[in-house]
Each structure stands twice: as structure tokens, then as C-alpha cells.
Structure 1
Amino acid sequence: MLTMKKPVIILVLIVLLFFSGYINHNLTLRANSKVSSDYQRYEEFEMVKRFELDEKDLVEAISEGDGDEVDIEILDTIEGKNLGDITQETNKIIGQEISRETSMQSKNYFIEQRLARDKLRASLIDRINEIVNNENTSDETRTEAQKKIMAIGDLAEKELTIEGLIKAKGFEEALVFLTEENLKIIVSVAELTEQDVVKILNIAMGETDLDADNIKIMKKY
């Protein structure tokens, strides 16, 4: 009778070991999932925090002062000069950042640079709004500032459209930076062929008034 029970006991032990391993496996998966989720949230938090610092640096770079100095700038005898200055400075920073080799090496390049571009643009609009809302601003300068804000909005909308059209052509990702003078396009592709360039150029020239000479296309390596 004892020998008959041994197989049963062994079978029970095997079943228990199986369920124990199964439960342990599921607990491990849940733990790993939580760690992965927490790490992703941490990365996103660090990314946003880093760009908030970059935005602060930008404001300091394009601002020549606060308080009374702002009033002096607005009352500059050359109407609209400061609007152009702060716009060019912002565009320069965005253009340099999206083309920087260290930026392109990031695995989150498209997320990071799209976020940076949009935040820097938002900072620029805030600066222009200061001019619009300042009681010392002349009517002419205020009107020009309002037009500048609308123009920035149009550029951002075109960027979004071009990015969507490029991705619709089969590219996994695309980042577009458009100014009134030129256009930069970065695409996620292992090798940028002549056919790829033609496709992208057709889209870019169809959505803007820019010539091919003013459109730069790069791949994210």
C-alpha cells in the first residue's frame, strides 16, 4: 500500500512545484512591469525637467532685462527691431539643437526635440505677448507683434502637416522645423536614398513657398 502512495505523493509534489513556479513567474512579470513603468515615468519626468531648464536659459539669453529695461526696448526708435531679434535668436537655438550630433544620438530624439521645439516656441510667444500687453507699446508695434504670433502659429501648423505627410509615405518618424526663410527635416531611416529625398522635397515644397535650396533633409543616425 505504501508503494502505491509514492507515485501519488510525487505527482502532488510536481503539481505543487509547477503552481509555485507559475505564481512566482507571474509575480516577477508584474514586478518587472512596475519597474519598467516607474522607470519610464522617471525618464519622462527628467526629460521635462531638463527642457524646463533649457527654456529658462533661453529666456535669459533672449531677454536683455526686465522691468524698466523692457519698456526701454519696446520704445526703441526702430519699430519691430526687437521682435525680429528675439525670433531669430529662438530659431537659431532650435536649429542648432535639432542638428547637434549629441542630440541625434539620443534614442528619444524625436520626442525630445519636438518637445524642445514647442516649448521654445511657447517661450517666444510669451515674450512677444509681453510686448503686446505692455501699455507703453505703440499701436504699430503691437499690431506687428500680434501678426508675428499668428505667423508662428501658422508655421507650427505647417510643421505638423508636413510631419504627418512624410510619415504617411512610410517613414517611421519625422521632425520638421520651419521658419520664414528655411526648412529642416529629420527623418528616421537607416539610409536616405535619392528617391526618399525627392518624396520629402515634393511634400515640403507643396506645403511651403520655399525653394529646394532652402530645404535641408537629414536622417537620424
Structure 2
Amino acid sequence: MLVVKKKNVVLGILVVLLIITGYLNYSYNQNKFPDSSEKIVQNNAKTDKDKNNGQDNKKNYKKDSGITVKDDEEVANVSSSFFKTYRRDREDTRSEEIKYIKSIIDNPESDAEMKKEAQAQLLDITNNMEKELTIESIIKSKGFQDAIAIIHKGSVNVVVDKEELSSEEVAQILDVVKRESKSETENIKIIPKS
């Protein structure tokens, strides 16, 4: 009975940590990125100066009727920031999880069954970390700007830094994910980052 209670407490704390991390990630991203009223669009019109100099208008910024116009480089920076922020948050969350699991393993008062379960969880986390890193690296080597792989029990999500994916690109990514994660197609979701 005591072992079951300890397991439930451990699982409950892990779930609470994940919820807190999700909330913090959401809060951080709300402050980091523009709100929904500010839209990022390309400026297709040419100014007289640009016509005379033959310069590309993508570098012009202007505020017109509530719409902010930004260049492709700034859009890429926002997208890049999303991937960096997610990786940092994922690393912080995992560090906390690993620290907590190690405290259970190192605690002399933890029973053998609980230590065994904690060691299995630690092994799962490290295996998932390795698989995610491999998937992300292979996807980037295929010519994609960036990607994030998120492996959970029974599912894999991949966020790719591209607004739209062709069926060939989806097939490429799916092949990599299936091979590296040993997951079935129905358990894999590929999400373009818009």
C-alpha cells in the first residue's frame, strides 16, 4: 500500500512539473511574440526611391492601418526564436525531472521497487533525448531550416520551420521519424511552423 502511494506521489509531482512548465512556456511566448492584432506581412509595393535604386522593398518597414510590415529576416528571427526558446524550456524541464528522479534513486529510504521504476524513467528520458536530437539533426540535414521532435509514450510530434510542407517533404520527415523512433505512422504528427 505504501509503495502504491509513493508511486502516485512521484507521478503526481512529475505531472505538476510538466503543467507548470507548459504554463511558463505559454506565458513566456505570449510576452515574446507580437499579439494577434499585429500581423506580419510582406510589403509588395515599391517606393519611388526603390524604383530609382533598383532595391528590393522587403527591407522597408511601415505602419499602415494597424498592420506592421516586416522583412523576411525578421520573420525568420521570430521563428528561430521559437525553436531556441522551446529547446531551452525543454532542457530546463528535463533537468528538473532528472534531478527529482535522481533524488529518489539516491534516497536510502526509497524502496527497491521505487528505485527500479525511477531508473527506468531516467533511462526512458535519456533514450527520448537521444532520439529527439537524432531526428532533429537528420531533418535539418535534409535541407529544412529547423525542427523540433517531441517524443512521448505512444506518440511523436515534429514541428518543422516551414509554413507549408509538400507531400514529398512530409514523406521524408515521416521516414526519418519512423526509423529513429520506431513509432507507427498513426502515432506521428508533423506540424509546419507558420
TM-score (norm 2): 0.65
Higher helix proportion, which one? Answer: 1
RMSD between superposed Cα atoms in Å: 2.7
Q: Distance in 2 between matches of 1:210 and 1:87?
A: 24
- Aligned residues: percent identity? 29
- Structure 2 SS opposite 1:189: coil
C-alpha contact (below 8 Å) 1:172/1:189 kept by paired residues: yes
Q: CA deviation at 1:219?
A: 1.4
Higher strand proportion, which one? Answer: 2
Specify whether residues 112 and 101 from structure 1 end up closer, same or farther in structure 2 by C-alpha distance, changes over 3 A only.
closer
Specify whether residues 219 and 144 from structure 1 end up closer, same or farther in structure 2 by C-alpha distance, changes over 3 A only.
same
- Structure 2 SS opposite 1:137: coil
Q: CA deviation at 1:90?
A: 4.8
Range with greater deviation from structure 2 (100-109 or 184-193): 100-109
The equivalent of 1:77 in structure 2 is 4
- The amino acid that maps onto 2:117 is E
TM alignment of 1:5-154, pairs within 5 A? 75-78=2-5, 80-90=7-17, 97=25, 102=30, 106-107=78-79, 108-154=81-127
The equivalent of 1:179 in structure 2 is 152
Range with greater deviation from structure 2 (80-89 or 206-215): 80-89
Specify whether residues 208 and 86 from structure 1 end up closer, same or farther in structure 2 by C-alpha distance, changes over 3 A only.
farther
Give unmatched runs, 5+ long, in structure 1: 1-74
Deviations along 1:101-130, whole A, 9 cap, x unmatched? 857874401111011111101111111112
Give unmatched runs, 5+ long, in structure 2: 35-77
The equivalent of 1:192 in structure 2 is 165
Q: How many residues align?
A: 146
Q: Distance in 2 between matches of 1:104 and 1:199?
A: 30
